[in-house]
Amino acid sequence: MIQKLNNRDALVAREIFNVFQRSYKIEAELIGASYFPPLSRTIEDICGATSHFYGYFENQNLAAVIEIVIVEKTLEIDSLTVDPSYFRKGIAGKLLHFVLAELGAEKVIVETASANIPAIALYQKYGFIEFKRWLPTHGIEKLALVSVIKPAQ
């Protein structure tokens, strides 16, 4: 159900873009943002990204996307989006579990809007703790969370 996505392929990038757009529109409403930077991202931006994309498929449809960057043993989650048609099915948790368990990171960092209570709750459920808050120039307060993964015994 989880596959690495080739974001350099224009058709795949369009699918990623569509999930991003549908999901980020809901997030923007949730946090009360009239301007939400992730909605400005284009298909070309996705095609040119050097990050890694993994998709969760349900009935051959791309239901969710996680975008990550790995530097040494630190994994950064750049985005975790679920198409609204697939909300409340535990898919975000499955993608999160996948990157935590399968990609060999020792530390995982993620940022989200401080008003995005569902996302914060999801990350906390998986052992993430807040370590920083700030107000970027776009005006949406953010927080960063971290999880340290203990090696298997």
Domain ranges of the chain: 2-148
Beta partners for residue 4, in sequence order: 54
pLDDT higher than threshold 90 for residue 40: yes
Question: What SS3 state is found at 61?
Answer: strand
| Number of helices followed by number of strands (H, E) in the chain | 4, 7
- Average pLDDT of the chain to the nearest whole number: 95
Q: How many CB atoms within 10 Å of residue 119?
A: 20
CA-based nearest residue to 141, from 27, 31, 22, 23: 31
Contact 16, 65 (CB under 8 A): yes
Question: What SS3 state is found at 79?
Answer: strand
Question: Is this prediction's pTM over 0.75?
Answer: yes
- Domain 2-148: give its CATH code: 3.40.630.30
pLDDT tens profile 93-130? 999 999 999 988 999 999 999 999 999 999 999 999 99
Tracing tokens 């809901």 back to the chain, one arrives at 26
- Separation between Cα atoms, residue 15 and residue 43, nearest integer Å: 9
